[in-house]
Amino acid sequence: MLLNQILSIINLTLALLTLFIVLWFGWRQRHTGVGGGWRLLVFALVLFVIGQTASLVADQHPGSPIVQVGAAVSVLYMGVFLAALYRLFEDVVNAQQDSLNQAQEIIHLQNESVQRAQEAETLIQIAENLISSLELETVMQELCRRTRELLSADSVSVRLPRPTRDGFRFAVDFASALKERPARLDPHIDRLAWRVLQTNRPALIPDAHNHPMFGPDSPPWMGALALYPLADEADAIGVLTAVFGKPRTLTPREKRIMKALANYAAIAVHNAYLYEQIEQQASLDGLTLLANRHVFNHVIQDAITEARQEREFVSLVLCDMDNLKNINDRYGHAAGDAALIKAAETLRSLTQEYPRATLARFGGDEFAILLPDMGPQESEILAQEVKNRLAALPIQVEGKSITACMSVGWASLRGAECTLSTLLQVADERMYAAKHRHHEEQEALKGSAPQTRA
């Protein structure tokens, strides 16, 4: 009897100590959350303490109803204890699963970080290649090639709008598959590109055949499209277009890459435009927009070198505006500028049918036309046509019609006899002979007819 009491007291003490430890642990973990298994374990220990207390009372009072209460509490304790063990095991398994998920998430983030680092390195390399070139065509071809590689696109093109008298049109279009499959430039894509250009927002079409703008009649090679604007500050200066042979949706990574490439391309295109403007300013006459004397000298020297090697003809036509000084003195320099511009437009229209012709403003009132591969007879005919068109060139200034008179000379030489100095000398002699004849005609008309020329 005494031994049973001692054992009961020891069990009660251990149970209270265990309950205290469990409660202390739960208090320590109150901020991170305590699982249901720990709560059941606390409840089971409380039942165990109640059962041991009931056992001590039963030993003092045999036959008391407390004996049945102790037995019932003991049975309940065993059930709750087993449930607590199950929940604790479940909590451990869940904790391990959470740890595994967290580890997998960390690995995924690390892989994504590595992938993004590689992606950033690739994009930086592409950006350096794009921005390092000032040739527009080189920039666009590089952009199309790398975009096609990174997105596995069927074809990639860049559309750049150029102003015209009727508005805007896509005058420049570079495509990676253009030579093999020229049909890849579709008018439906142009209309969509205009929308992207005007809204400065991308357009993604995962299934072109079911899109209202394209429909089932769209070409079989057009499965999906992605169009991104080349944004220069607030405005779009072009559109990067990727065409896929089958319907598909761009992944977030592909969208990120295409947007970055479009932004890099916008910088490169802007730089190329600036370079083009500077180059034009350096090579063109600011008033007439014809080639200037510096450029013309290089072109004619190359043509002469080629002619001497191939033993072919090179022809030169020189035109001089005889009365430019009189126009400036009488009507002002604005009238003189208008006369020069009108003459340049007339000469440009006359030389359009000669693809190798180079037209330049040779001096203050002189123009020059270089005609490689053209013989003496054709050169003389062209010079006469130029003379006829420019002989009485009407100019409208402030509602008045004035006339600019032109003298024309030409030269056509071949092989070893063809030198720059000889070409200029022969053309100059003929031009000044024509000027002299015109002067004599004017002198003969003085006193017999009213002056009609400035």
Q: What's the domain count of the chain?
A: 3
Domain at 264, CATH number: 3.30.450.40
User: Binning pLDDT at 50, 70 and 90, where does residue 8 land?
Assistant: low
* Helices 333-350 and 376-390, axial angle in degrees (round to 10): 140
Query: Residues 415, 358: one domain?
Result: yes
Residue 176 predicted with pLDDT over 50: no
| H helical segments located in 34-135 | 36-60, 66-132
Task: Calculate Rg over the CA atoms of the chain.
Answer: 46
**Token digits of residue 241:** 């277009």
Select from 58, 88, 104 the last residue of a domain.
104
- Taking the C-alpha atoms of residue 122 and residue 201, their distance in angstroms, rounded to an integer, is 24
Residue 124 included in any domain: no
Residues 299/291, Cβ–Cβ less than 8 Å: yes
Query: Residues 304, 422: one domain?
Result: yes
- How many CB atoms are located within 10 Å of the residue 102 CB? 10
Query: Residues 352, 431: one domain?
Result: yes
- Taking the C-alpha atoms of residue 247 and residue 210, their distance in angstroms, rounded to an integer, is 10
Q: Give pLDDT, residue 269.
A: 82
**Token digits of residue 29:** 């973990």
Query: Residues 142, 250: one domain?
Result: yes
> What residue numbers bound the domain in which 433 lies?
293-445
| Helix/strand/coil for 257 | helix
Query: Residues 170, 189: one domain?
Result: yes
Query: Residues 149, 270: one domain?
Result: yes
Nearest to 269 by CA among 127, 375, 409: 127
Residue 452 included in any domain: no
Return the minimum-mean-pLDDT range out of 41-45, 402-406, 439-443: 41-45
Query: Residues 297, 278: one domain?
Result: no
- Taking the C-alpha atoms of residue 135 and residue 52, their distance in angstroms, rounded to an integer, is 93
Query: Residues 268, 297: one domain?
Result: no
Three-class secondary structure assignment of 328-376: HHHHCHHHHHHHHHHHHHHHHHHCCCCCCCEEEECCCCEEEEEEECCCH
Average pLDDT over residues 316-331: 87
Residue 411 predicted with pLDDT over 90: yes
**232 membership: H or E segment, kind and range:** strand 224-232
Select from 258, 283, 308 the last residue of a domain.
283
> What does the DSSP 8-state code read for residue 31?
T
User: Binning pLDDT at 50, 70 and 90, where does residue 225 land?
Assistant: very high
Sheet (strand 155-164) strand order: 167-175, 155-164, 235-244, 224-232, 203-205
Q: Give pLDDT, residue 61.
A: 62
Q: Give pLDDT, residue 361.
A: 92
**Token digits of residue 80:** 């709750």
* Max mean pLDDT range (35-49, 112-126, 324-338): 324-338
Q: Give pLDDT, residue 429.
A: 92
Nearest to 408 by CA among 350, 373, 369: 369
Domain at 410, CATH number: 3.30.70.270
Contacts of 177 (CB under 8 A, 6+ apart): 154, 155, 156, 184
Query: Residues 299, 244: one domain?
Result: no
Return the minimum-mean-pLDDT range out of 35-44, 226-235, 365-374: 35-44
By the 10 Å C-beta count (0-12 exposed, 13-18 middle, 19+ buried), 77 is classed as: buried
- Taking the C-alpha atoms of residue 370 and residue 380, their distance in angstroms, rounded to an integer, is 13
- Taking the C-alpha atoms of residue 384 and residue 191, their distance in angstroms, rounded to an integer, is 47
Please, what sign has the CA dihedral across residues 9, 12, 13, 14? positive
Contacts of 300 (CB under 8 A, 6+ apart): 314, 316, 358, 370, 420, 423
User: Binning pLDDT at 50, 70 and 90, where does residue 75 land?
Assistant: confident
Residue 454 included in any domain: no
- How many CB atoms are located within 10 Å of the residue 85 CB? 14
Residue 87 included in any domain: yes
Residue 119 included in any domain: no
Query: Residues 219, 272: one domain?
Result: yes
Residue 451 included in any domain: no
Q: Give pLDDT, residue 180.
A: 43
Query: Residues 252, 347: one domain?
Result: no
Q: Give pLDDT, residue 441.
A: 74
Tell the residue number behind the tokens 């970080």, with chain if given: 113
Its pTM surpasses 0.75: no
Residue 288 included in any domain: no
Residue 147 included in any domain: yes
What is each CA distance from 206 to 209, 210, 241, 444, in whole angstroms?
9, 9, 13, 80
Buried b (16+ CB within 10 A) or exposed e, 137-156: ebbbbbbbebbbebbebbbb
The Cβ-side half-sphere exposure at 151, using a 13 Å CA radius, reads 34
**Token digits of residue 334:** 């604005």
Contacts of 382 (CB under 8 A, 6+ apart): 315, 317, 350, 369, 371, 374, 410
Select from 242, 259, 283 the last residue of a domain.
283
Query: Residues 328, 434: one domain?
Result: yes
